[in-house]
Amino acid sequence: MDTLLSALRKSADFTVRGQASVTLVFPPRKPPTRTTQALPPAPFIPNLIRRNFNVVQGQQETVARRAAQVFSLTPKVGGAASWRLWIDREWNVPLAYEERSADGTLARRAQLLSADKLQKRSQPLSLSPAPELGPAVNRALPGLKLPPGFAPLRVGQRPAGPEVIFTDGLNVLALVFAERQVRAAPGVASRRIGGGFVWLIGNLENNVLDKALAGIKARKPDALGTFLPPSDSNP
């Protein structure tokens, strides 16, 4: 566990430059596979991984002609996705990662095809949620009951409305304050509350997402206060 978390902390400041193949099955994207010039950053939060996942160190494999240690991560409770990470044995940063749904189907995979050099990120990645965001979310959505292990990470903006991102350290859920209904689909739940809607999107069974929204008593996005993007904040 400590070896893996050390690598993820280092990856907040460093990345490997090289061609990568990225496949995204959930949420669906056409085409599902594309190439990039670096491994896309993933929402790895070390302290939540320690709390929510069992970690097993596997065999050494080769990725982009480099020796990598494989780690398998499965949730301690609940039906969230499991992950595998390939950590460079010399550079101590990820060379590949893979997410699989609870039924074992591939949700996403990113893998370096070539590894040119280790370089410092221009902007370090954040590795911890804002502690004050939790109470603000409780005020904005009293009665929200997320699946085990998920905590609020940040607030952003979608075309449909403000968005709160939750994470269990690896997997993410996106909750959107919207003015309209969303089309039904796997991994998408929606509930009308007052004069608007709340969407919850993530790689979980729909009944789990529906249950998370079922107890919400009010929808008050303004209660997110200064966490809202500037254009949506109160003057």
Its pTM stands at 0.93
Average confidence score pLDDT of the chain: 94
Q: What is the pLDDT of residues 184-199, one digit of tens each?
A: 899 999 999 999 999 9
Residue count of the chain: 235
Q: What gap in Å lies between CA 152 and CA 174, rounded to an integer? A: 10
Residue by residue, DSSP assigns 16-85 as: EEEEEEEEETTTT-SSSEEEEEEPPP----HHHHHHHEEEEEEEEEEETTEEEEEEEEEESSSSPPEEEE
Write the pLDDT tens digit of every residue in 33-43. Answer: 999 999 998 87
Q: Is 98 helix (H, G, I), strand (E, B) or coil?
A: strand
Instruction: Please provide residue 227's backbone torsions phi and psi, each rounded to the nearest 5 degrees.
Output: -75, -20
Query: For the chain, which domains are there?
Result: 2-115 (2.50.20.10), 133-230 (3.30.200.100)
pLDDT tens digits for 106-117?
999 999 999 999
* 54-108: pLDDT as tens digits: 999 999 999 999 999 999 999 999 999 999 999 999 999 999 999 999 999 999 9
CA distance 228 to 234: 9
Backbone angles phi, psi at 135, to 5 degrees: -60, -35
